[in-house]
Amino acid sequence: MSMADTLAPQITDEELQLLRQRGRVLLLLDAAERASVAPLSTDRLHALAYLADVLSPVWHLPAFDQVVMKSSGGPFFPELQREMDRLVAAGLLEVSNIRYVPRPRGGARIEGCYGLRFGSPHLEDLLGRLGARGSDAALDPRDVQIHAFLIELAGALARLPGDELSRAATSDVTYSDRRVDNNNLIYITPASMPNRSVETAERFATFIPEGASLSPGEKLYLYATYLGRRVHGG
């Protein structure tokens, strides 16, 4: 039974989408905690969300967002940011090191470092329902697989030192390829649009001995290593 089946008809589709967006934030940060890279700055959290979307087909999972707008500062999802801030207000996230960051075309954006607020009496129950604590308490069994993918991805990207996670997103072969965007919009999901990131991750299999194979997790680790080299111009 899916989350929609469990909660319907009590909530609307729009409300369900908001709940899923908030759950996405919690799962991303829980994965970052397990990879020992939390708390995450605003740009690093959005970078992780983007790389999760663009690499989700490696695990045969759908992307959460179908489109992302390119900017010089890296990927940014307004809806995701809104729910991050709402989770802070709800006492489920903590934010520190708040600062103003100038924007390329004028003005500024408030940024900070986000992490789970483990003192919340509701956090563990919510993570369980989101599939972060196994399938027994999960509202939607598919979320357990999504959480496993995010843990694997965060672990792979944790090998990048310092602030390189945010730089890795802009070095991603899909994000940096001008041939696949449309007026600075990257469409992640349509089959008609090439996913250069997945193509690259899958291509690693051609470099291993005949008869051997790569697991989805190994492909993520190899792609993260490749991103690290691209960050440094390698």
What pLDDT is recorded for position 184?
75
Backbone angles phi, psi at 147, to 5 degrees: -65, -40
Q: Examine the pLDDT at 1 and tell me if it is beyond 70.
A: no
Of residues 182 and 152, more confidently modeled: 152
Could you give the strand order of the β-sheet that contains 108-116, starting from the edge strand earlier in sequence? 40-41, 108-116, 93-102
How would residue 53 be classed by pLDDT, with cut points 50, 70 and 90? very high
pLDDT tens, position by position, 183-210 = 677 877 655 567 889 999 999 888 888 7
Q: How many CB atoms lie within 10 A of CB 121?
A: 7
What's the rounded Cα separation, in Å, for the pair 106 and 28? 30
What pLDDT is recorded for position 8?
47
Of residues 26 and 181, more confidently modeled: 26
pLDDT tens, position by position, 82-114 = 999 999 999 999 999 988 777 666 666 778 999
Domain segments of the chain: what residues?
Answer: 3-231
What pLDDT is recorded for position 223?
94
Q: Is the pTM of this model over 0.85?
A: yes
What pLDDT is recorded for position 162?
65
Q: Which residues contact 204 (CB under 8 A, 6 or more apart)?
A: 214, 219, 222, 223
Backbone angles phi, psi at 67, to 5 degrees: -145, 145
What's the rounded Cα separation, in Å, for the pair 150 and 34? 10
